[in-house]
Amino acid sequence: MKKFISMAMAGCMALSLAACGGSSASTAESTATSTEATSEAAASGSKTDVAFVTDVGNIDDQSFNQYTWQGVQDFCSANSLNANYYRPTEDSDAARLEQMDNAVNDGAKAVVVAGYLFGSSIAEAQAKYPDVEFLALDVSTVDLGDTAPAENTALITYKEEQAGYLAGYAAVYDGYKELGFLGGMAVPAVIRYGYGFVQGADAAAKELGVDDVNIKYWYSGGFAATDEVKNKMDGWYSEGTEVVFACGGPVCESCDAAAQANGGKMIGVDVDQSGRYDTVITSAMKGLAESVNEALTDSLNNGWKFTETYAGKETKLGAAENCVGLPMETSKFNKFTQEQYDAMYASIVDGTLTIDDSFDTTVTPSVTNVTVDYQG
């Protein structure tokens, strides 16, 4: 098992006091039509203890949704609880809230959501259902607008800039000089990944004494895999870009297609994507499943009420909590070593190495040894 994940699992699972039991998560396929919400609970008739309402996309996206859902399933399996997922029929606050309603009506004691788009829905649902716990990943207090998180709401965000930094540093140290950053929408998590990547690449270039490292940088404006994204990446790779950090879920598919066509490489995001894409040399990861397990365990052990650790606040997780990193065991590095990684990780944890966590698109990272071409 990858060191990063094993470390995170050890830290998070230590908080779980319940004995493991058989998985009771529903596997029934939904019989919903294209105009109806996808709800495994509705399809199977099973009782829901913990619900996951998906972000844009489905639970088999090999990224954000899938590994958040995995965390819900792992937690429920370990505690003999029923897990079900619910998929909004469209990208709207009303559709998201509808599925949260369905989950509560099916008996959910806790509802897990993922993605900043849930901000408005959480703000409404937490007041509507004060006896239900809401766990929102990648949702900040800002995303809730003028509404503060209630005691039945836990917000978790991540220090993506740390994972991005490690990926950028490793890529340049390993010898890559023509890099790219492909972001989906310019939202805080994506921006932090990208700015961290730039900072890490610059640090490695400075350490190596080189000043000929170039980074192309572009936000596609969405997370979907499109011909526009593939064509853009085809252009980058054909112009000499060696490796692209593809940050945005399904946009990775477009980047991978272009990488394969042009003999290029890719850096994955959120989870270890080496098993899905042969072009991946490493992935900038965050512990989605692990942090879900930890927060839900906190609530369960307190009678389905978040403790002061999570209740009514935004909790930011990073290297100090073993919740960001690179999967070194599957990474395809020739020069960057495990020892270097461990030392750098430790310096982030102890504060010796600080990384700018800005996500202001109008203020880009200061660099000395790399040239960044911001293309929109």
What CATH number does residue 253 fall under? 3.40.50.2300
Alpha helices in 54-151 (DSSP H): 64-78, 93-105, 119-128
Looking at the structure, tell me whether residues 226 and 330 fall in a common domain: yes
Long-range residue pairs from 255-259, CB within 8 A, at least 24 positions apart, any chain: 255/182, 255/229, 255/230, 256/280, 257/230, 257/233, 258/230, 258/233, 258/234, 259/233
Phi (first) and psi of residue 256, to 5 degrees: -60, -40
Q: How far apart are CA 141 and CA 138, in angstroms?
A: 10
Looking at the structure, tell me whether residues 330 and 190 fall in a common domain: yes
Alpha helices in 84-185 (DSSP H): 93-105, 119-128, 160-173
Task: Specify the pLDDT at position 65.
Answer: 85
Task: Specify the pLDDT at position 371.
Answer: 98
Looking at the structure, tell me whether residues 120 and 222 fall in a common domain: no
State the CB neighbour count (10 A cutoff) for residue 285.
27
Residue-level pLDDT, tens digit, the chain, 376 residues: 334 444 443 333 333 322 222 222 332 223 222 223 444 444 434 589 999 999 876 777 767 888 899 999 999 999 999 999 999 999 999 999 999 999 999 999 999 999 889 999 999 999 999 999 999 999 999 999 999 999 999 999 999 999 999 999 999 999 999 999 999 989 899 999 999 999 999 999 999 999 999 999 999 998 889 999 999 999 999 999 999 999 987 899 999 999 999 999 999 999 999 999 999 999 999 999 999 999 999 999 999 999 999 999 999 999 999 999 999 999 999 999 999 999 999 999 999 999 999 999 999 999 999 999 999 9
Looking at the structure, tell me whether residues 193 and 151 fall in a common domain: no
Looking at the structure, tell me whether residues 21 and 112 fall in a common domain: yes
State the CB neighbour count (10 A cutoff) for residue 235.
13
List, in order, residues 6 or more apart from 247 with CB less than 8 Å away: 181, 182, 183, 184, 190, 193, 194, 269, 284
Q: How far apart are CA 345 and CA 322, in angstroms?
A: 9
Q: Is the Cβ–Cβ distance between 175 and 168 less than 8 Å?
A: no
Task: Specify the pLDDT at position 71.
Answer: 95
Looking at the structure, tell me whether residues 304 and 329 fall in a common domain: no
Task: Specify the pLDDT at position 224.
Answer: 86
What is the spatial order of strands in the sheet that 313-317 belongs to? 38-39, 83-87, 50-53, 110-114, 133-137, 153-158, 313-317
Looking at the structure, tell me whether residues 214 and 129 fall in a common domain: no
Looking at the structure, tell me whether residues 235 and 364 fall in a common domain: yes
Task: Specify the pLDDT at position 348.
Answer: 98
Task: Specify the pLDDT at position 2.
Answer: 37
Looking at the structure, tell me whether residues 34 and 52 fall in a common domain: yes
Domain region containing 249: 160-286+325-374
| Tally of domains within the chain | 2
Looking at the structure, tell me whether residues 256 and 217 fall in a common domain: yes
**Half-sphere exposure for 230 (CA within 13 Å, toward CB):** 13
Tokens representing 55? 């972000």
List, in order, residues 6 or more apart from 33 with CB less than 8 Å away: none
Q: How far apart are CA 107 and CA 94, in angstroms?
A: 20
Q: How far apart are CA 106 and CA 91, in angstroms?
A: 22
Amino acid, single-letter form, for residue 88: P
Task: Specify the pLDDT at position 63.
Answer: 74
Q: How far apart are CA 346 and CA 350, in angstroms?
A: 6
Looking at the structure, tell me whether residues 309 and 234 fall in a common domain: no
Taking the CA atoms of 293, 299, 301 and 303 in sequence, report the sign of the dihedral they define: negative
Looking at the structure, tell me whether residues 84 and 126 fall in a common domain: yes
